[in-house]
């Protein structure tokens, strides 16, 4: 466990030693603020229109929080590859991967440490963006539980993407290749259920289950179910397992 923490600490510290983490976090917060206040403005327009209707009031969660979280999912698809592309591919470029591979560290410790280092940066980034929905709690009266459950869904969604990105970085020898390949894979993964209507009932339901947005959607609505949690944890475990097997195979070679 100590080895994993050491690698994770080295990973997230290296992100903040360079401008990368600051640029990504700043850009993410800038986009988050833009979309949040856009949805807030849209809500105010709808609220003004419904004031004349008795017993009719739009929901803050429905008009602001849910669209906000759904939009951040798309933003994360483009930002996370920039974080994960350097996790293992950079070690190869710098010539330090051989030192890691021949050290007493196991492949599993390397992969898990790299993933946790990226996860720390992602968690910090998302926690800062949580300040926008919390503004509603201070100045309005939204449902707090769906906001927190939705944030959990967004965090799990981001960590699942990060695990896939680490697996891609493990098989690439260039940061650029790892970043582009991760982006393509994550985009395909996000829209994997797009052609579902053209298939049979079994295939359609299978594609629906694979689609991360459908599981995250339930969480953003405040529905905390074991199946959605198991899904994201399974994707994270699968991504790390693939990365581990890739490093094991390379060590044997």
Q: What is the pLDDT along the chain (253 residues), one digit of tens a residue?
A: 777 788 788 777 777 787 888 999 999 999 999 999 999 998 888 877 776 665 567 788 888 999 999 999 999 999 999 988 888 777 666 656 656 656 667 778 888 988 999 999 999 999 999 999 998 888 888 888 899 999 999 999 999 999 999 999 888 878 888 889 999 999 999 999 888 888 888 888 898 999 999 999 889 888 889 999 999 999 999 999 999 888 877 665 5
* Residue boundaries of the structural domains of the chain: 2-252
| Whole-number Å distance between alpha carbons of 234 and 225 | 14
| Whole-number Å distance between alpha carbons of 83 and 36 | 24
Rg (alpha carbons) of the chain, rounded to whole number:
20
């Amino acid at each position: 466990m100590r080895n994993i923490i050491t690698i994770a600490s080295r990973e997230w510290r290296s992100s903040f030693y360079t401008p990368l983490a600051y640029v990504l976090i700043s850009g993410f917060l800038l986009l988050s603020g833009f979309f949040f206040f856009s949805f807030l403005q849209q809500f105010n327009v709808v609220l003004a229109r419904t004031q004349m209707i008795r017993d009719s009031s739009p929901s803050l969660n429905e008009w602001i929080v849910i669209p906000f979280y759904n939009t951040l999912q798309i933003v994360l698809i483009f930002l996370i590859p920039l974080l994960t592309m350097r996790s293992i591919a950079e070690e190869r470029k710098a010539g330090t991967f051989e030192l890691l591979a021949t050290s007493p560290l196991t492949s599993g410790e390397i992969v898990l440490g790299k993933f946790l280092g990226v996860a720390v940066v992602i968690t910090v980034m998302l926690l800062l963006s949580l300040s926008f929905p919390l503004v509603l709690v201070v100045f309005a009266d939204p449902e707090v539980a769906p906001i927190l459950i939705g944030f959990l869904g967004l965090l799990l969604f981001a960590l699942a993407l990060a695990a896939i990105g680490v697996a891609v970085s493990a098989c690439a020898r260039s940061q650029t290749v790892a970043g582009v390949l991760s982006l393509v894979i994550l985009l395909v993964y996000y829209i994997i259920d797009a052609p579902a209507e053209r298939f049979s009932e079994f295939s359609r339901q299978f594609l629906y289950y694979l689609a991360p947005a459908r599981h995250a959607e339930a969480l953003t609505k405040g529905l905390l179910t074991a199946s959605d949690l198991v899904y994201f944890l399974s994707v994270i475990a699968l991504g790390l397992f693939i990365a581990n097997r890739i490093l094991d195979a390379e060590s044997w070679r």
